[in-house]
Amino acid sequence: MEQTINLHPILTEAGLRGLVFDLDGTLIDSAADILHGMRLTFHQAGLGLLPDDYFPGDLHGTGEGIMRSIAADMGWTMPADLKPLRALYVENYAAMGHRHTRLYAGAQDVLNACRDAALPMAICTNKLHASALTAARKVGIDAHFDFISGADTWPAAKPSPVPLLETIRMLGLRPDQCLYFGDTSVDAECARQAGVRFVLHKSGYGDHRLKAAPQYFAFQHWAELLA
């Protein structure tokens, strides 16, 4: 007999019509690939070599934002024009082929159950769209989503509410009909400004500003979302 998988009550509430997810730190753990790309880029650009045990405190921004955060940590002076450095990182990161990126345990089961419940789903990430699409394909979840929105899909990136609002619009839904899953204060602020209920993945990358961020629900492991 096929086992029936039940969803957590927050996913079966009356009025809930769709789900939007952040990607890095929420559905996938891509830190190793991001950090390798950054380490290689800074070294090739002659800015310096990151220590082997270094882990950035900021993995929630755009690629450029993460670069600035790392440079500030290391005391390195960034060039005035970041376009060449950003392009080099995109090239280095793409060459990794998401080889170390993994889906968080239990996320696949939750996505499958939400798909079976006919809940429209989308991704709204600060990753570039092409990279988000290839990462989702790499871990085998791209077919679950009706729309994937990247940092370059709209005129602004998170924490602006624009990407989330536009992603929800692409689902044909309203902000009050959706939940947004994320792992950082950038995600929480984006959701707050968009008027969308925020669900926190506590095992993601996080940051200290999360303590003050409003949360509709929080969970440590994806399996908690299956009743």
Q: Are 25 and 60 in contact (CB under 8 A)?
A: yes
Amino acid type, 145: F
pLDDT, one tens digit per residue, over 51-109 is 888 888 777 678 888 898 899 999 999 998 889 999 999 999 999 999 999 999 999 99
DSSP string, 167-216: HHHHTT--GGGEEEEESSHHHHHHHHHHT-EEEEETTS---GGGGGS--S
Total-model pTM: 0.91
Q: Where are the domains of the chain?
A: 9-29+101-225, 31-96
Select 9-29+101-225's CATH number: 1.20.930.40, 3.30.70.260, 3.30.465.10, 3.40.50.1000: 3.40.50.1000
d(CA 143, CA 210): 31
Give pLDDT tens digits for 128-186: 999 999 999 999 999 999 999 999 999 999 999 999 999 999 999 999 999 999 999 99
Coil vs helix vs strand at 157: coil
Distance CA 122, CA 144 (A): 8
3-class DSSP assignment, residue 34: helix
